[in-house]
Every structure is written in structure tokens, then in C-alpha cells.
Structure 1
Amino acid sequence: MDAINLMIQKGPLQVFSAIKLSFQMRAEVDPLFVEKISADFTHNWKIFNEDGSFLVVELNKNYYNPTLMSGWSELKTFYNFLDNVEVTFAYYGMNISNRCSKPNERKCFDIRLFGNDLKRNNLQLTNDFALFLQNNVCDSLILCGDNGDNQSFNIFFNHDSNITTRLGPLWNKFCGRNLFQPGGRIRFKFTINNTYVCHVFRI
């Protein structure tokens, strides 16, 4: 325990966030963090609490869509997390973390899906979403579904007055695997410092 306290006193090596919404099966972890600590990566992590106890969580080794496979319910109970929550952690090395309060900026776009949207090979994006992708010089995007699925899509810009922008191909296949429904709304969520990977889930 003294060695762990010494590590914490020296300050964190990285700060990362996890987000869990009520309708998501698993909590998402910042993929840039997982990429940065890949050399130090193991599946099980110890989250140390203020009372000196710790909880163990299991993180999958997926660099596009890292999620907590187990341990979130124990964290939620211990800290009385809300059903919709974003939590920031400090990482000290040797798979040891604790909670901290530094926020992580995010950008979200919501789209309502109609019947034809689920059948098409590509999805037309809203203007604000299209401008965001253009401003960040994105010509492709990796979508990470709530079911752990991830798929790469091309972005097609028409450069017309309506900023018509589509995402494809095989959008309909992605919809089917993630159980999107006609009339439902989905959210595309980016971290600002990682605009080539996007988490997509029903809201």
C-alpha cells in the first residue's frame, strides 16, 4: 500500500474518462488512452477508493471501442453513480487508477432514423454534422456500436449548397447489427481530440 500511495503522490501518468448511459450495455473508455498505454496494458485494473479499498474492473483490448467488460456495477454502487454518467480517472501505471475531476470535452450529433434510413447503403448526415467533419478534414470514420461492433465508413461530400454529406457503404448492415429501429434516434459521440473514431448508440 505504501508503494501505491507513493505512486499517487507523484501524480498521474494519464487522465482518461469512461462514460455509461442507461441504455448502454457497457461503459466506454477513451480509446486514445488505451492506445497510449498499450505497452502497459492488461485486462484487469484496480480502481483505488478514498477509503483505501479498491475495486477491480475488466477492460477489453479493443483500440477502436474499448469498454469495461465487468466491474462497472460495483463502481456504480460504491460511488452512487447516476444511470447516465461520465467519470474521469487518473492512471498511475501498473494498471492502477483512481477517480479525479478533470473533465473531457465531447461533441455529439443526434439523428432520427426513418424506415428507409435503415435500408439504405449510406446515411445522409445533418448539416452541422457535415460541417464538423469537413472542418476536421475527415474522409473516413470508424463507428463503434454499443454492442462492441466497430466498422470503418467512407465520408462522401457533395460540396453543394446543401452540404450534402453521406456515410457509407454498408450502413444498413451496421444498423441491423446494432438493432436500430425506425423512428428511433441515435447519437454520434466524438471526443474532441479524436475525430476519426465515433461512438454510436440509441437514445
Structure 2
Amino acid sequence: MPHSNLELSRRIWNREPTAVFTTMSLRHEELFKDYGHVDRLFAINNQANLERHWILADAAGIIHHVEYNEDLLHPRLTRGWMELRNFYGLLGEHHILIGYVGAASFQLTVFRSDAGQVAMNGFLCDIASTEALFQGHFAHYRLTLNAEIYNNDYLIVSGEGFGNYIEDSDFGHFILCGPLIHEIFVVETSPTSSSTFYLGPLWNEFCRSNEFDEGDTIIFEVQTDVRNSHIKVLLCH
């Protein structure tokens, strides 16, 4: 149950969040009636540190205890979520800001004004854009788009990690599925190194069409329990 603990709340709010995500409490959306959505990119980026039990503190000193389901397919806040909604009297579409400060502790900001239908639609679209392409086990590979990578016609992949995945998969092409568009990329092996691969052409157009910018970090999400030529490409916020 929610309770007051000014000292604990002060300690949590005195720390700088390392990551922040926005969720919503929705009026009529059955999908989120009994639990809160956790931003999937946040869950992926922090999966090594997130525990099942979360402590959420608002700036007024109220503490909420909720459970995280530890599921990268459908990350959710379960037990304690309805108590949180009821405590603040959230009857419409409301934004909820959650800032991670480490040690299973989070800053909680609840916006009691109704965000409206447009905000709800945008929230649901954001969820859809980060949904997994498949059930099963994942691996994630990060890439920062420096100027050379961003502007190249081909994505050059080598070495351990993503390079090994491309080599072991033994596909002649991959379908990269970005937030806005999907594109087929042919796999070519470098003439000078059998462990270096070129995915293209039109890599730079894929980046621009998905509204990736130079300097962004993206994540390649791949399936590891079966061979799959589809790769989800996520933008880190």
C-alpha cells in the first residue's frame, strides 16, 4: 500500500536519474487496465540491473511498491499498479514519468490533468514501434551512428557480437525492420576478410527514412533460438 516516507523519498529525489521513461494510465484501454506499460527500450538497456521489486517515490514523500514482470517481450508493472492509479484518482488518460536512480529506486511524477485522446494514440503508436518481431530469445547489439557509418551506402559489420551473428546465420540477405520502414539488405563478404560483411545498399537512406540522426545509438535485436532473417532496429532515446 502507498505510504509516506519523507526521508526515503528525499534520498531518491536527491539522486540524478540515469534513465527516464513515460508511461500512461488509460481510461478505456483494456490492454493496460490492470498493469502499467514499461518502455521496452528502457527495459532492454537496463535489463542487467532491474529487479522485480521497484520502489517509486513522488516528490511529496509518498512511496509506492510495485512489481516488474522481468519480461523483455512485454515489460510491465503488475502488483501495486492498480493501487497507484487509485491513490492518485487517475480516471482519464494520464502521463506518468518514471526516473531510474539505481538500487531498484525510481522517481515518480504523476500528471493528474487529462492528456486526451491524441496523447493516448501517440503512446500506443510508440509501444507498437518497439514491439518485438518474434517470440523467443534475443540478443541485442548497439551501434552509434558516427558520420562515417551514417553516410555510408553499406553498413560494415565485423568482429565479435553482431559480426558473428551475421556470419553464423549464413543468410544471403536480411530484412532490417526500423520504426518507420523495413528494407531488404544483401549480405556481401569483404574481399579482404571473410569475417567482415557489407549490408546494403542504401544503408544511409534506411537511416534517414527511419529518422535516425548522426550521433544516434541504435540497437539491433536478433532472435537467437532459431535462424531468422528479420532484424528489429530500435532507436535509443
Q: TM-score, normalised by structure 1?
A: 0.51
- Among 154, 157, 160, the alignment partner of 1:125 is 157
Is 1:127–1:163's contact at 8 Å kept on the other side of the alignment? yes
Letter aligned with residue 144 of structure 2: R
**In the alignment, which residue of structure 2 is the partner of 1:136?**
169
Is 1:106–1:190's contact at 8 Å kept on the other side of the alignment? yes
Q: Distance in 2 between matches of 1:194 and 1:74?
A: 34
Letter aligned with residue 229 of structure 2: Y
Q: Distance in 1 between matches of 2:156 and 2:170?
A: 18
**In the alignment, which residue of structure 1 is the partner of 2:219?**
187
When structure 1 is superposed on structure 2, of 167-176 and 119-128 the one drifting more is 119-128
Q: Distance in 2 between matches of 1:111 and 1:182?
A: 11
State whether structure 2 residue 73 is matched by structure 1 residue 86. Answer: yes
Q: Distance in 2 between matches of 1:82 and 1:199?
A: 19
User: How far does the alpha carbon of each residue in 1:80-117 deviate from its partner, in whole angstroms, 9 at most, with x for none?
Assistant: 232225229xxxxxxxxxxxxxx721122111111122
- Percent of residue pairs identical: 24
Q: TM-score, normalised by structure 2?
A: 0.45
Is 1:124–1:164's contact at 8 Å kept on the other side of the alignment? yes
- Among 145, 148, 159, the alignment partner of 1:113 is 145
Is 1:140–1:196's contact at 8 Å kept on the other side of the alignment? yes
Q: Distance in 2 between matches of 1:114 and 1:158?
A: 21
Q: Distance in 2 between matches of 1:167 and 1:74?
A: 41
Size of the aligned set, in residue pairs, is 119
Distance 1:156 1:79, change over 3 A: same
Q: Distance in 1 between matches of 2:30 and 2:205?
A: 34
Is 2:167–2:195's contact at 8 Å kept on the other side of the alignment? no
Gaps of 5+ in 2: 1-20, 23-27, 41-71, 76-134
Instruction: Mark the structure with the bigger radius of gyration.
Output: 2
Q: Distance in 1 between matches of 2:39 and 2:153?
A: 34
Q: What is the root-mean-square deviation in Å for CA atoms of aligned residues?
A: 2.6
